[in-house]
């Protein structure tokens, strides 16, 4: 943790905190000394000295308070900085994650790890650091003050300490497993909340609020019960420790009373009396130091779990890694060479021995039943996943040899369901690498091609108009057109359109394809589609079935040679359109 999350600045602040705490403990430790001197002076009826030492004692107590506040402030700053560094490190790592990495953790868990887990550590550092510095210094210093003064008192104090430590140890032993489960259960609550928010419309439409509510309630109650059972074991410890403090003072006085009575002279009695006050103060300090340490151990399990979960994210190697290449020699081509692929953990091949080549500037479409592997082909081209066997080549170069930025800059990818970010229309269209170099004219041109110009012009603030997260204030078709405009705006070498037109009506679909063909001549277009109408005019159509290529050719060729294609076509087109 230190190397990565503590910077030089935090080390310097920590050193400063140590100095402040040492000074503070020194002042705390001096107070019983003053008490002893005041008692002595009082017994000698020297009232001026009592007042003088009294004032010194108040100054000490006040100084200790100020130093403690300063140390607390510094330690909180260290903790906040550590929290920020942890969030940053996780965010940067997740940016590099592949889809496989993300689904292994789950989005909900990644959110808990970046928020809740970091807060655990932050709290631990904020409170724990001060204690870690203060408690040992205080315990050792206080012990050294009373060491060798009285066998009876020392034996009694050790007895009390052993009891306190035993109670703390047992309660921690019982509570730690429950503390460890808290984060995991928080993940479950988080997942349930996310699902509920993401699916709000469907939940309402199906009157499934009760069902979702029950699911959430279960996760929430599991967390509650776990917390209750953890707290149950911890609850008695602090009252017990406080009683122990009183008990130790009482015991020392009781033993002291016996010693005073047994003393031979009045001077001896007075000295014993003053020693007794000092001893009980220091003994209480030793107990307080132990109690403070217990506080750390109480926070430690959750902080440790949090730390492990955070480092798990940071140490996870992205399953998709950068190559070195920046470009190939056959500009604008895509080729699959005997590609076989299965999704991680699925156990069965999604694509089997798929081979085809898309020449530069051509429009090639993939069609096939749902689940036949169409989107998977697109995922492999943009390297969301890597092939199991065979090769995928873009511009004649294996996609694994590219550095990812150079590969993705070539691709204008439009996913099946539009991804919209919260922000202006302009920011959503002119997005990503190279956006600074593009003007509003480029944005309008892209919107025009994507058939989105008209509705954006009708918006009150045009390109400045705000789109909410997930585009909730847009229709499905509008979202899809904004998402197409985003790809067009980059003028990519290759368009990857993954069932992009399905949210559009037939007329818009047709006009969009025409505009795309005219305006993007020279770019390669790779379309995944469900509707024959969308791809009928493609230079080549690839028919997929169960992950295998079962037909290739133009529309008219496939109508004769590929029964599956002919079936799909007949089910969608009129006799006239089929010609």
Residues in the chain: 579
When the beta carbons of 236 and 371 are compared against ligand ADP, the nearer one is 371
Residues 319, 400 contacting (CB under 8 angstroms) = no
When the beta carbons of 184 and 356 are compared against ligand ADP, the nearer one is 356
For 51, the 3-state DSSP assignment is: helix
Max Cα-Cα span within the chain = 125
Does residue 382 touch ligand ADP according to CB under 6 A?
A: no
With CB under 6 A as the contact rule, the residue among 343, 356, 421, 455 that binds ligand ADP is 343
Residues 431, 463 contacting (CB under 8 angstroms) = no
DSSP letter at 317 equals P
Does residue 346 touch ligand ADP according to CB under 6 A?
A: yes
When the beta carbons of 102 and 163 are compared against ligand ADP, the nearer one is 102
For 20, the 3-state DSSP assignment is: helix
Task: Provide the total of helices (H) and of strands (E) in the chain, helices listed first.
Answer: 23, 12
CB of 372 to ligand ADP, least distance (A): 4
Residues 531, 520 contacting (CB under 8 angstroms) = no
DSSP lists the bridge partners of residue 526 as: 364, 496
SS (H, E, C) 208-237: CHHHHHHHHHHHHHHHHHHHHHHHHHHCCH
Distance in angstroms (rounded) separating the CA atoms of residues 343 and 104 = 12
Does residue 551 touch ligand ADP according to CB under 6 A?
A: no
Does residue 373 touch ligand ADP according to CB under 6 A?
A: yes
CB of 419 to ligand ADP, least distance (A): 16
With CB under 6 A as the contact rule, the residue among 109, 112, 249, 375 that binds ligand ADP is 375
With CB under 6 A as the contact rule, the residue among 122, 183, 333, 372 that binds ligand ADP is 372
CB of 361 to ligand ADP, least distance (A): 25
Interaction with ligand ADP in 347-366: which residues (CB under 6 A)?
Answer: 350
With CB under 6 A as the contact rule, the residue among 315, 329, 370, 439 that binds ligand ADP is 370
Does residue 83 touch ligand ADP according to CB under 6 A?
A: no
CB of 418 to ligand ADP, least distance (A): 16
Distance in angstroms (rounded) separating the CA atoms of residues 309 and 265 = 66
Does residue 266 touch ligand ADP according to CB under 6 A?
A: no
Distance in angstroms (rounded) separating the CA atoms of residues 129 and 17 = 9
When the beta carbons of 370 and 579 are compared against ligand ADP, the nearer one is 370
Does residue 412 touch ligand ADP according to CB under 6 A?
A: no
| Contact string (CB under 6 A) for ligand ADP, positions 288-327, x = contact | ----------------------------------------
Residues 426, 373 contacting (CB under 8 angstroms) = no
Does residue 534 touch ligand ADP according to CB under 6 A?
A: no
Q: Under the rule (CB under 6 A), what is the footprint of ligand ADP?
A: 343, 346, 350, 368, 370-376
């Amino acid at each position: 943790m230190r190397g990565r999350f503590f910077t030089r600045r935090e080390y310097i602040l920590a050193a400063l905190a140590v100095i402040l705490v040492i000074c503070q403990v020194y002042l705390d430790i001096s107070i019983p000394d003053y008490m002893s001197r005041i008692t002595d002076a009082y017994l000698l009826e020297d009232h001026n000295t009592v007042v003088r030492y009294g004032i010194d004692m108040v100054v000490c107590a006040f100084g200790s308070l100020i130093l403690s506040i300063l140390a607390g402030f510094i330690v909180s700053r260290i903790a906040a900085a550590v929290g920020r560094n942890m969030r940053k490190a996780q965010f940067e790592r997740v940016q590099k994650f592949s889809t496989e990495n993300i689904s292994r953790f789950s989005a909900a868990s990644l959110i808990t790890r970046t928020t809740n887990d970091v807060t655990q550590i932050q709290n631990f550092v904020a409170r724990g650091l001060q204690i870690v510095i203060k408690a040992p210094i205080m315990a050792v210093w206080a012990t050294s003050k009373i060491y060798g003064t009285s066998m009876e008192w020392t034996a009694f104090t050790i007895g009390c300490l052993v009891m306190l430590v035993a109670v703390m140890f047992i309660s921690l032993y019982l509570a730690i497993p429950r503390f460890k489960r808290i984060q995991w259960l928080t993940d479950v609550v988080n997942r349930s909340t996310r699902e509920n928010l993401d699916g709000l419309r469907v939940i309402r439409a199906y009157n499934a609020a009760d069902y979702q509510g029950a699911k959430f309630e279960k996760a929430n109650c599991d967390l509650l019960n776990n917390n209750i059972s953890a707290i149950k074991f911890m609850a008695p410890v602090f009252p017990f420790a406080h009683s122990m403090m009183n008990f130790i003072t009482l015991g020392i006085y009781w033993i002291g009373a016996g010693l005073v009575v047994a003393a031979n002279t009045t001077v001896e009695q007075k000295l014993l009396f003053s020693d007794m006050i000092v001893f009980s103060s220091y003994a209480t300090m030793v107990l307080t130091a132990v109690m403070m340490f217990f506080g750390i151990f109480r926070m430690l399990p959750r902080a440790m779990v949090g730390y492990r979960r955070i480092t798990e994210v940071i140490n996870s190697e992205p399953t998709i890694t950068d190559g070195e290449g920046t470009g190939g020699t056959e500009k604008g081509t895509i080729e699959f060479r005997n590609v076989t692929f299965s999704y991680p953990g699925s156990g069965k091949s999604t694509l089997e021995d798929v081979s085809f080549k898309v020449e530069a500037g051509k429009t090639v479409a993939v069609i096939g039943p749902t689940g036949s592997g169409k989107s998977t082909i697109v995922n492999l081209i943009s390297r969301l996943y890597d092939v199991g066997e065979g090769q995928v080549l873009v511009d004649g170069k294996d996609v694994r040899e590219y550095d990812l930025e150079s590969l993705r800059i070539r691709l204008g990818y439009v996913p099946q369901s539009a991804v919209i970010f919260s922000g202006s229309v302009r920011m959503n269209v002119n997005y990503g690498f190279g956006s600074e170099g593009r003007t509003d004219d480029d944005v309008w041109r892209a919107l025009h091609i994507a058939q989105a110009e008209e509705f954006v012009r009708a918006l009150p603030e045009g390109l400045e108009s705000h789109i909410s997260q997930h585009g909730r204030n847009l229709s499905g078709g509008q979202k899809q057109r904004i998402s197409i405009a985003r790809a067009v705006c980059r003028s990519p070498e290759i368009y990857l359109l993954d069932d992009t037109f399905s949210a559009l009506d037939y007329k818009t679909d047709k006009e969009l394809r025409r505009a795309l063909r005219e305006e993007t001549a020279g770019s390669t277009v790779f379309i995944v589609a469900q509707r024959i109408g969308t791809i009928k005019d493609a230079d080549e159509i690839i028919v997929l079935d169960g992950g295998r290529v079962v037909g290739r050719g133009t529309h008219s060729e496939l109508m004769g040679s590929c029964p599956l294609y002919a079936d799909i076509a007949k089910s969608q087109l009129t006799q006239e359109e089929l010609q």
